[in-house]
Amino acid sequence: MANPWTGEVTLTIDGTAHVMKLTLGALAELEAQLGEDTIIGLVERFERGAFSSRDVLALIVAGLRGGGWQGRAQDLLAAEITGGPVRAAQAAGQLLSRAFATPTDSEAHP
């Protein structure tokens, strides 16, 4: 089960639930793969709804790797994602928003 307070998101691939997280290393790999100088360009594309399937796949791979997965993007090309492309895009957006969310005062001091 993913812990959203630590940036985790769950995605079910080929019937197995995977916990994803954008670690610093995963973010650096993502920037290099997408050719971005900063991750802000990717965040802005998601905010505008102008992201591509390549963006979604890259985020999913980075999140899976941040969660300990040892696979490659090619391993997902024929994979069955529960909820399909819509769920994959939602999970990618959640990864980005949770990676950069800051807790509110009430969350920081329960």
Phi, psi of 13 (to 5 degrees): -125, 125
Confidence of residue 83 (pLDDT cuts 50, 70, 90): very high
Confidence of residue 29 (pLDDT cuts 50, 70, 90): confident
Do 33 and 40 form a contact (C-beta atoms < 8 A)? no
CA-CA-CA-CA torsion sign (45, 102, 35, 74): negative
**105 has pLDDT over 60:** no
Phi, psi of 51 (to 5 degrees): -80, 160
pLDDT value of position 109: 41
What's the pTM value of the predicted model, to 2 decimals?
0.84
Mean pLDDT, range 4-28, rounded to an integer: 92
Mean pLDDT, range 79-90, rounded to an integer: 95
pLDDT value of position 108: 47
Return d(Cα 102, Cα 72) in angstroms, integer.
30
Mean pLDDT, range 63-78, rounded to an integer: 92
**20 has pLDDT over 90:** yes
91, amino acid identity: A
68: left (phi over 0), alpha (psi -120 to 50) or beta: left
**44 has pLDDT over 90:** no
CA distances from 83 to 36, 38, 87, 89, 95 (A): 28, 30, 5, 10, 16
